[in-house]
């Protein structure tokens, strides 16, 4: 989980624990990343619990359908590219 917020004090080290009020839990720092502005982003061990309701299931099914259609389009384009590279003689007999 990534949490954006201000931490007063020294930068946290990997393995340290910190209480985050927004999630009301203590998390362990797994990794720390620095950006070009010398700001830190911390990766934690916190797992977000997802509650599946009907809307979530419908949304996931729609996303999977869109993904599969996109894959089919890409595969179709690849087949067309293969045929366009063939000589006219091979296209005639395939």
Q: What is the DSSP letter of 12?
A: P
Q: Are residues 62 and 82 in the same domain?
A: yes
Q: Is 20 exposed, middle or buried (0-12, 13-18, 19+ CB in 10 A)?
A: middle
Q: Are residues 23 and 61 in the same domain?
A: no
Q: Are residues 79 and 41 in the same domain?
A: no
Q: Are residues 45 and 59 in the same domain?
A: no
53: which residues sit within 8 A by CB, 6+ positions away?
Answer: none
Which of these three, 34, 49, 64, is where a domain ends?
49
The encoded tokens of residue 28 equal 């362990």
How many structural domains are present in the chain? 2
Q: Rank 50-54, 63-67, 71-75 by mean pLDDT and report only the highest.
A: 63-67
pLDDT above 90: percentage of residues in the chain: 13
Is the pTM value of this prediction over 0.75?
no
Domain span holding position 28 = 1-49
């Amino acid at each position: 989980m990534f949490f954006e917020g201000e931490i007063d004090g020294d930068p946290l080290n990997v393995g340290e624990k910190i209480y985050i009020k927004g999630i009301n839990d203590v998390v362990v720092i797994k990794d720390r990343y620095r950006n070009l502005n010398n700001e830190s982003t911390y990766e934690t061990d916190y797992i977000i619990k997802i509650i599946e309701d009907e809307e979530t299931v419908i949304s996931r099914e729609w996303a999977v359908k869109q993904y599969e259609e996109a894959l089919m389009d890409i595969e179709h384009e690849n087949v067309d590219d293969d045929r366009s590279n063939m000589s006219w003689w091979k296209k005639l007999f395939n």
